[in-house]
Amino acid sequence: MFTGLIETTGTVLSLSPAAGGAMRLIVAAPALAGRWETGDSIAVNGTCLTAIPVQDAGNEHPGRFAADLAEETIRRTTLTRLVPGSLVNLELPTPSGAPMGGHVVQGHVDGVGTLIALEALNADLDRTDWRMTVQAPPALAPSIVQQGSITIDGISLTVAKLHPTAADGSARLEIAVIPHTYKSTNLRSLLSGAEVNLETDVLARYAARQAEFAAVQAPMIDYTLQPAAPRPGGLTIASLIARGY
């Protein structure tokens, strides 16, 4: 499990085809050197990947790691659009019992959104807050809630404003970004039109799925009051009149 609190950024060194139709991503991450072992999970731009050591001519490079991108990862995320030099957000899993910051992040990307704008709110770029606008695909719209959590490229963020659903079913949301988040993540490298990985809040996702299931599966109930059929030997209007009532 992750929390969406980015520990550091890394730099993409290469992205190349691997066996079986997969892709192999190699990232330089000197700040994580010595903090992971082979097979450990690392979230790269919000995508949970399995770390593999990088060897070059028999020499390991502890400041680098590789990860294989399966077909599902390629289909659901932006990782295959990365190029050498791309800045990526990195987070190691949260140890059991550690303080819980951010929100529960699985590293299971739901889909890809588009960065519409990332605007500074004042002229002092070292101290300014930023306003980020993102367009989310229709499939994710039911799980996005105003003042709720969302993960964008692995960053735990809060939906500050949710616009009415568009005609195509997509959702446009605005997010307030503080200076620390802007400086410490890949947001500082993104331009309008960039694609970003989105993971909606897992609690909202389960709630949306339960509501969808209930709407499809719940039987139609007729709440119209119907007169009850008389039971054999029971009281009826006719029997009460016959008895003088």
Catalytic residue status for 170: no
Catalytic residue status for 2: yes
Active-site option among 50, 114, 133, 170: 50
Catalytic residue status for 163: no
Catalytic residue status for 96: no
Catalytic residue status for 103: no
Active-site option among 14, 80, 158, 192: 158
Active-site option among 18, 28, 70, 207: 70
Catalytic residue status for 41: yes
Give the 3-state secondary structure of the chain: CECCCCCEEEEEEEEEECHHHCEEEEEECHHHCCCCCCCCEEEECCEEEECEEEEECCEEEEEEEEEEECHHHHHHCCHHHCCCCCEEEEECCCCCCCCCCCCCECCCCCEEEEEEEEEECCCCCCCCCEEEEEEECHHHHHHCCCCCEEEECCEEEEEEEECCCCCCCCEEEEEEECHHHHHHCHHHHCCCCCEEEEEECHHHHHHHHHHHHHHHHCCCCCCCCCCCCCCCCCCCHHHHHHCCC
Active-site option among 8, 11, 41, 170: 41
Catalytic residue status for 108: yes
Active-site option among 3, 29, 43, 48: 48
Active-site option among 11, 108, 176, 184: 108
Query: Any idea which residues carry the catalytic annotation?
Result: 2, 41, 48, 50, 70, 108, 158
